[in-house]
Amino acid sequence: MLAFMLHRIKYNGTLIEPTNLSALESNPAMTKTLNQPDNQTNSHLHCQVVGDENNPPLLLVHGYLSSNLQWELNQKSLLRHFRLFMVELWGHGHSPTPPYASNYSIKRYIEEFERIRQQHDVKQWGLIGPSYGGVLSCITPSQSQIALRVY
């Protein structure tokens, strides 16, 4: 049996890397990572920011049981037009696994998206996501003050 891992997964608290890493992730000059907890009980989603600051911002939210590697096949094309904010859901990829159930609520995800938006002084951005990321992308504009940009 041949197995090929496409996404990072956590097993018993250990991050298991995929066999095929993104070229962008391995080039620190092209990426900036945000995942600094503000205290021991309140951590933040991992967000990888890639691309030209002059391009319009686009928030990418992957689906359930995935990671930012989901965007690897589309990154090159998207980077020609957008600055990408690739966020990883709680317990996925490089995002922490919070101990509190309240962190997994839609409200908490929206708060995290807003924190990232404000941290980068983004006035409005587009949102894209499949699966659960699509649910969050559809609900976020109606449940928050986040300015949505239509491309």
Residue 45: inside a domain, yes or no? Answer: yes
Residue 66: inside a domain, yes or no? Answer: yes
One pLDDT digit (tens) per residue for the chain, 151 residues: 223 334 444 444 555 444 433 444 444 444 444 444 443 346 899 999 999 999 999 999 999 999 999 999 999 999 999 999 999 999 999 999 998 898 899 999 999 999 999 999 999 999 999 999 999 998 988 877 666 676 6
- What does pTM read for this prediction? 0.71
Query: How many C-beta neighbours within 10 Å does residue 86 have?
Result: 26
Residue 21: inside a domain, yes or no? Answer: no
Query: Got the DSSP string for the chain?
Result: ------S-EEETTEEE--SS--TTTT-GGGEEEE---SBTTB---EEEEES-TTSPEEEEE--TT--GGGGHHHHHHHHTT-EEEEEE-TTSTTS---S-GGGGSHHHHHHHHHHHHHHTT-S-BEEE-SHHHHHHHHHHHHHS-PPB---
Query: Domain span at residue 80?
Result: 31-143
pLDDT of residue 57: 97
Q: Which residues of 24-56 are buried (b: 16+ CB within 10 A; e: fewer)?
A: bbeeeeebeebeeeeeeeebbbbbbbbbeeeee
pLDDT of residue 23: 43
Residue 151: inside a domain, yes or no? Answer: no
Residue 11: inside a domain, yes or no? Answer: no
Residue 139: inside a domain, yes or no? Answer: yes
Assign residue 113 the CATH number of its domain.
Answer: 3.40.50.1820
How many independent structural domains does the chain possess?
1
CA angle 91, 129, 132 (to 5 degrees): 50
